[in-house]
Structure 1
């Protein structure tokens, strides 16, 4: 029979605890990043709606699906002064590309 004492030793418990702590920390960081992305998307759509700028379903989906924080920040800044959705999203960021 194999010696399984390592798996119940204090050292193995410490290693498992460290792995759990790392996993929780990574999960929290991912959750915060996702929360910020969702908040940016909501803010972009809120600003556009308040300014009366029409948003197609495709653009709405694009904004919500965006995971690039720099891109979504640019969109938010542009949303404050733009008069059309095209000014915000431009040709390089047109839905479907």
Structure 2
């Protein structure tokens, strides 16, 4: 049985892409949890819809932006819409 594929450049590339995706997913999960902790600490109420919007977001930049807004906003709507 030929196992050379598992050590080929293509195989290495596929594994590297998988690792990068996993790291990005981990960073998004960490940012989501940090954002939710700030909202909880600031006693900002979330609707189920708002919570779903936050927890399903995988855009690292958008999560960072929401986190920054959460530090001073008084409502979830301010955080998500930027008003």
TM-score (norm 2): 0.86
Residue 61 (1) aligns with residue 52 (2): yes
- Segments of 5+ residues of structure 2 without an aligned counterpart are none
Residues in 2 aligned to 1:44 and 1:56: alpha-carbon distance in whole angstroms? 15
Q: How does 1:1-97 map to 2 (within 5 A)?
A: 8=2, 13=4, 16=5, 17=7, 18-90=9-81
Deviation at 1:91, TM superposition (A): 7.2
- Segments of 5+ residues of structure 1 without an aligned counterpart are 1-6, 93-97
Query: Is contact 2:73-2:79 (8 Å) kept?
Result: yes
Deviation at 1:56, TM superposition (A): 0.9
Name the count of aligned residue pairs.
Answer: 81
Deviation at 1:35, TM superposition (A): 0.4
Q: Deviating runs (4+, > 4 A) in structure 1?
A: none
- 1:3 is aligned to none
The structure whose RCO (Cα within 8 Å, separation 6+) is larger is 2
TM-score (norm 1): 0.74
Aligned-residue Cα RMSD (Å) equals: 2.1
Deviation at 1:23, TM superposition (A): 1.4
